[in-house]
Amino acid sequence: MSNSERLEDIACDICGSAQQTVIYKYSVNGDSINIVECKYCGCTYLCPRPKTHYLPEFYGENYYSFRCDDENNNLSSRGTKDTLRRTVMKHHFGYANIAAADTLRIPPAVSVLFKAFVAVPRYQQNGRLLDVGCGAGQKLQEFKSLGWDVRGVELSQQAADEGRKMGLEIAAGSLYEAGWPAEYFTAITFYHSLEHLPSPRLALREAYRLMNHGGELLVVVPNFGCLERKLFGRNWGWLDVPVHLYHFTEATLTRIISEAGFKIDTLGFSPGGCAASLSVFNGSKVARKVFENSVRLFGVACAVAGSGKALIVSARK
């Protein structure tokens, strides 16, 4: 199949301009795919990109969020990082029902230093939460256990079916097809899903329609403007070509959220994960481990300095 049959050229989703500059070039299954920057507003995206009909083949059955057994999604983990996260949630995000045994014995004045690294909506009693691009529902399970009335929407039928087996209410398809009424949700989250959508602008506008007044929007995406991406360039793992259709900076993400109608509340950065391409170390487990640990420390330092590898934006309607 020719390149033109599988791919499509698009204009900028933020401003509509077709004027662009190529930043990185890739070859994916014989197709030439570029990451480009809009000359008008700075939005960064794939162009050309796979047509919507062909996108599922790039995920495959084992995509991490489509399964419930992936170790990266193990909500029963009780490591120090996870315990610190729950400590911040209990002290600063209103999750009073988190048991003291599941938190660190540190003063709230200390735990508040980590608040910007924790990506959760503030708890609302009897609140209804929607996770967009929920995969098999790992986040939904956690929020349900913490008292939220949860819903999910997921493009992958396979992932939605996995979540339903656990008793979760997950709509298969796009956000627009789910059929929920206006002002139905108290909180709407996009955990590393906004960058996968064909039109983040339209998805955020629909989220605004679905949000009740005073509700919270939480968006977490890879930070294209981070120091780690600048260091590793086209080999930065969180570029994830071709399934990440958009790449956001602080400026472009806050702009697209604001233009959907939301008022930006807080902006934070996450240091989590190792997002560098490590193929060069495939032959040496020791070298790979040293490199991974170094990148993690670098990620923490970047987050503290205000250039973490993931952007965390909370906004209100």
* Strand ranges in 128-262 using DSSP code E only, listed in sequence order: 128-132, 149-154, 170-172, 185-191, 211-222, 246-247
Going residue by residue through the chain (317 aa), what tens digit of pLDDT does each one get?
445 688 999 999 999 999 999 999 999 988 899 999 999 999 999 999 999 888 877 776 666 655 565 444 444 445 778 899 999 999 999 999 999 999 999 998 999 988 888 999 999 999 999 999 999 999 999 999 999 999 999 998 989 999 999 999 999 999 999 999 999 999 999 999 999 999 999 999 999 999 999 999 999 999 999 988 988 899 998 999 999 999 999 999 999 999 999 999 999 887 655 444 444 445 566 666 665 666 666 555 555 555 678 999 999 99
C-alpha span between 55 and 50 (Å, rounded): 6
C-alpha span between 72 and 130 (Å, rounded): 21
pTM of the predicted model as reported, rounded to 2 decimal places: 0.87
Q: Locate the domains of the chain by residue range.
A: 56-316
Is the domain 56-316 a CATH 3.40.50.2300 member?
no
